[in-house]
Structure 1
Amino acid sequence: MTLHYTSGGSAAEIATAGFNLVDVSSVEQLNALPAGMKGLVWLDEANGASLSFIQKVTPFIGNPKLFGFFLADEPDPTGKWGVYATADNLKAESDWIHSNLPGAKTFITMMNMGSAANPDFSNTFNPANTHIDYYGVDPYPVQTGTSAVDYNMIDRTVAAAVASGVPNSQIVPVYQTFGGGNWTTDTDGKFVVPSTSQMQTMMDHWDHLVPSPAFDYAYAWGSQQGDTALGNSPELQAFFLKHNLHNVDDLPRR
């Protein structure tokens, strides 16, 4: 069964939209999760199995509410655009978790080293060089500066991830649920909050490309750059409630 994750919201908040995989950063938050919810622990660690890493991870050993660990958001193998990371360091982290917390999963989101028009993940990270379990792929097609939404951006980005060595079975769909604020596109445009109709079209593409992911990721519940996010959109919350409960046939469209 596919789990449903969103970041930046409390368990109580996101449960109202049917999410069951929670963004947590402490054992206390994990222990407080209600029955039926699991935790994905945000680590923000890309320096290998260091003392800091081990100290962060060790308290979660044996916790039945643990799903896994979000090691890093778009680690950058060049260090030019984001947090520098090497495949060896990420592999050391993933291997340590797999050895010491059997059953726990590891996850990163992937940095597109190309563009939205020509995505490229070559020479970055994949299961062969990191032993990481799941890879978030995050094309966000609803934006300004185009006459029509380029939904095929999703198809291109997934194809590039697969070409880089990430199997479909280990890809996590990342859905655009934000717009506005200070985020800019790679063509200097702005992202736009999707309508429910646009959201459904994006999901149709994802369902064809990655039909049974371990989990999906609605980015994001909480606002990070002055944007309007899922937590501010009752329409999208209603959409995701239906989606996450596997009943999207009677969704309102606009």
Structure 2
Amino acid sequence: MKAHLATVAAAASIAGALTGYLLDPSPGDASARGTTAMAAVPRAVADASGARGAPGTRGAPGAHGTPGARGAGGARGAPDSLRTRHVALNMPAEDRAKAAALGYNLFDVDPDEGEIASLPAGGQALLWVGNTTCGGFELADDAFAQTVKRLAGNPRVYGWYLSDEPNPRECPDIVAKIRQRADVIHRYAPGQKAFASLTDWPMTPLAPSATHLDLIGLDPYPCRADSGGGCDLKAIDTMVGQATRAGFPKRMIVPVFQTFGQSCSSGEKNWKLPAAAQLQAILNRWDRLVPSPAFDISYSWGRQDEWACPTLKDADGTAGHPDLQAVMKRHNARRTSPSPSTTPPSSTPSAPPQPPSDKRCAPAGTPG
């Protein structure tokens, strides 16, 4: 997601950003913080082309050319190995049922009651309200705080996607902005998670004590077009090591899996779609390094014309593509958390839906 820093900065200034923030300091820790009832139906993000974000993880490839990632927790009393939720980014609403059949149960959506209520049964919502890199936030401070209060009691909300690949070197004020938003969530919706996707830009300034995040995505995309057909799995170890040295315990880490290539994209051609065996090797490496994540991210389900093509939606074993959907279905079935309650939220007037962002999860160095 991070190919060229200049490109990223330019893209960030263009990319309409996303959300507001506010209060109480308390360093994020997904396992230490109490959890309120959080049951939601899966839903994904769609942009004009049916996909949100560029390769990365709302987060995309990192500064050294590794794309990015996005989080969740399991039902009370379930074994750790069963707690992992699964989200595939950049998904149009019409594809959610198919994704749910593959075991995806966390959906990237806007903070709108109608959107949340429309998710497939048994899933939860990860609400996109963030910024991209150094871009602006979608909601002003007061609007963000009011939105958190409005959705604080909604059992189908898992958490809040506060930022995609923030770059504290280029915009040092982003740390305080993320912290303010995380503190609003912890004050008004303490059972919901504050999440951001990081890439291989400096992570130490974004440490839990500085940002109060609960969970972070990491987006090393190991399969590059110039790798001679292989995938450098050491890129995963490198980024996990970078995060742990920056002060993030492994329980905060959300793996981002590369399920995209760029052979048919209109922009750069730096990444290639993994073969089925290569994706399985990526999953195995993540299992070894972060065995019980709160959730994991597949980037990307839907195409992003400039950054991600082909994607997981294409990779069903037809048209010359590998069957990555089958690989992810097996993975998700092995690690799916018990379905949360899907009690409908009380009827509260919904805020007008925000236009979808086209940046989430693009490879670092590319807008996203």
**TM-score, structure 1 normalization:** 0.85
1:12-27, aligned counterparts within 5 Å? 12-25=97-110, 26-27=112-113
What residue is the counterpart of 1:233 in the other structure? 315
Distance across 1 between alignment mates of 2:170 and 2:250: 27
Q: Tell me if 1:37 matches 2:119.
A: no
* Structural RMSD (CA): 2.0
1:233, distance to aligned residue in structure 2 (A): 1.3
1:241, distance to aligned residue in structure 2 (A): 1.1
1:16, distance to aligned residue in structure 2 (A): 2.7
Distance across 2 between alignment mates of 1:139 and 1:85: 25
Q: Tell me if 1:136 matches 2:217.
A: yes
Decide which of 146, 157, 160 is 2:242's aligned counterpart: 160
Whichever residue aligns with residue 53 of structure 1, its letter is F
1:52, distance to aligned residue in structure 2 (A): 3.2
Alignment CA distance shift 1:175-1:183 (3 Å): farther
Decide which of 65, 70, 73 is 2:156's aligned counterpart: 65
CA deviations on 1:24-47 (whole Å, 9 max, x unpaired) are 112211112233111100112566
What residue is the counterpart of 1:96 in the other structure? 184
Distance across 2 between alignment mates of 1:216 and 1:28: 25
Is this contact kept in 2: 1:17–1:237, CA < 8 A? yes
CA deviations on 1:113-146 (whole Å, 9 max, x unpaired) are 2xxxxxxx34431211111011100000111212
1:99-118, aligned counterparts within 5 Å? 99-113=187-201
Q: Tell me if 1:74 matches 2:160.
A: no
Distance across 1 between alignment mates of 2:289 and 2:267: 27
Distance across 2 between alignment mates of 1:85 and 1:23: 26
SS at match of 1:230: coil
Distance across 2 between alignment mates of 1:24 and 1:143: 29
Select between 33-42 and 194-203 the one with higher mean Cα deviation: 33-42
Is this contact kept in 2: 1:176–1:194, CA < 8 A? yes
Number of paired residues?
233
Whichever residue aligns with residue 23 of structure 1, its letter is D
What residue is the counterpart of 1:173 in the other structure? 255
Distance across 2 between alignment mates of 1:68 and 1:122: 21
1:49, distance to aligned residue in structure 2 (A): 7.3
Is this contact kept in 1: 2:199–2:220, CA < 8 A? no
SS at match of 1:244: helix
What residue is the counterpart of 1:252 in the other structure? none
1:182, distance to aligned residue in structure 2 (A): 4.4
Is this contact kept in 2: 1:196–1:236, CA < 8 A? yes
Whichever residue aligns with residue 132 of structure 1, its letter is L
CA deviations on 1:162-196 (whole Å, 9 max, x unpaired) are 11111111000000000011464xxxx52111111
What residue is the counterpart of 1:250 in the other structure? none
Whichever residue aligns with residue 276 of structure 2, its letter is T
Distance across 2 between alignment mates of 1:232 and 1:138: 21
Distance across 1 between alignment mates of 2:227 and 2:90: 29
Is this contact kept in 1: 2:204–2:247, CA < 8 A? no
What residue is the counterpart of 2:72 in the other structure? none
Whichever residue aligns with residue 278 of structure 2, its letter is Q
Q: Which has the higher helix share?
A: 1
Higher RCO, Cα 8 Å, sep 6+: 2
SS at match of 1:22: strand
Whichever residue aligns with residue 61 of structure 1, its letter is A
Structure 1: 5+ residue stretches without partners: 114-120, 248-254
Alignment CA distance shift 1:56-1:224 (3 Å): farther
What residue is the counterpart of 1:4 in the other structure? 86
1:78, distance to aligned residue in structure 2 (A): 3.1
Structure 2: 5+ residue stretches without partners: 1-82, 317-322, 336-368
SS at match of 1:54: helix
Distance across 1 between alignment mates of 2:305 and 2:246: 30
Whichever residue aligns with residue 212 of structure 1, its letter is S
1:58, distance to aligned residue in structure 2 (A): 3.3
Q: Percent identity?
A: 35
Decide which of 273, 292, 296 is 1:193's aligned counterpart: 273
What residue is the counterpart of 1:118 in the other structure? none
What residue is the counterpart of 2:175 in the other structure? 87
Alignment CA distance shift 1:85-1:219 (3 Å): farther
CA deviations on 1:63-113 (whole Å, 9 max, x unpaired) are 010100001111121337xxx752222111101111101200011011312
